[in-house]
Amino acid sequence: MSSSTKPTPALLCLRCNKVGVKQCSSCANARYCSTQCQKQDWKQHKIICGAFQALEERPSPKHIRAILFPIDDDKPRFVWITRYTHWFYDLKTEWGPLLGNPQSHESQFFGQTHGLRRPLVGAKDIMVEYNSTFALDDSPSNQSMLKLAGMKQPRRWCRSFIAHGYYEENGKLVDTVDVNTNDFGALMEHFNSRVDTIPKCCLPGSWRVCAEGRRNTCRKNEG
């Protein structure tokens, strides 16, 4: 490799921007420049490394690997979901059950690591999908998120949510793709960077309950 050629993110250390000359012997995804960086990353990497090994074989070429953060388990896990190649897919019949069969859902997108400011492995973007009303009702906290190190305000992440990779061109979805253990750290950075995006007045407990159920009126806006 010449000095003018930059290594791809897949060849870089997960903890820094040096070339990753060491590889995790278990998942064969994560790369590190040194034993020191590998040890520093182990607390986070061990959460997902075993789940990667435990995932069964790909059911078909029509499936992609995603990371599920379940509401009722204290560890995230890898799952296979149906691959799709257009924005308007049928979430409810495909893999909506993983999210609790929401009536509506929203997505968050990101395409680089927050800390190291570099593209994700494979130059893909990541989409996080979740129930669109979790911040506006009394949904239970996400148990897997409660267990993750570094989460500042896990109560803001409720119900289940799922993350997978995708490619787009000029705003058009081209393909959905796998995520693996290399993407877990970037996801954690993303979640930590999003904890203050929901106003405190819109958190569960800040909504007035009436006889008909939970009223869509924020107490902050009441006279």
Vertex 167 angle, CA 164 and 170, to 5°: 140
The model's pLDDT over 110-160, given as tens digits with 9 standing for 90+, comes to 888 877 788 887 778 999 888 766 666 667 777 777 777 445 554 466 778
Query: What's the pTM value of the predicted model, to 2 decimals?
Result: 0.76
Query: What's the whole-number mean pLDDT along residues 185-189?
Result: 87
- The predicted pLDDT at position 213 comes to 33
Output the CA angle 183-187-189, nearest 5 degrees: 120
pLDDT digits (tens, 9 = 90+) for 60-118: 999 999 999 988 888 899 999 988 777 655 555 566 677 776 666 677 888 888 777 88
pLDDT, tens digit, for every residue of 21-30? 999 999 999 9
More confident call, 57 vs 188: 57
- Check: CB of residue 214 under 8 Å from CB of residue 207: yes
Q: What integer is the mean pLDDT of 165-181?
A: 88
In the chain, which ranges are E strands?
Answer: 22-23, 31-32, 63-69, 77-82, 105-110, 125-131, 161-169, 172-177, 207-210, 213-218
CB-CB neighbours of 72 under 10 Å: 10
65: its two tokens: 């690997």
Structure tokens at 105: 């859902």
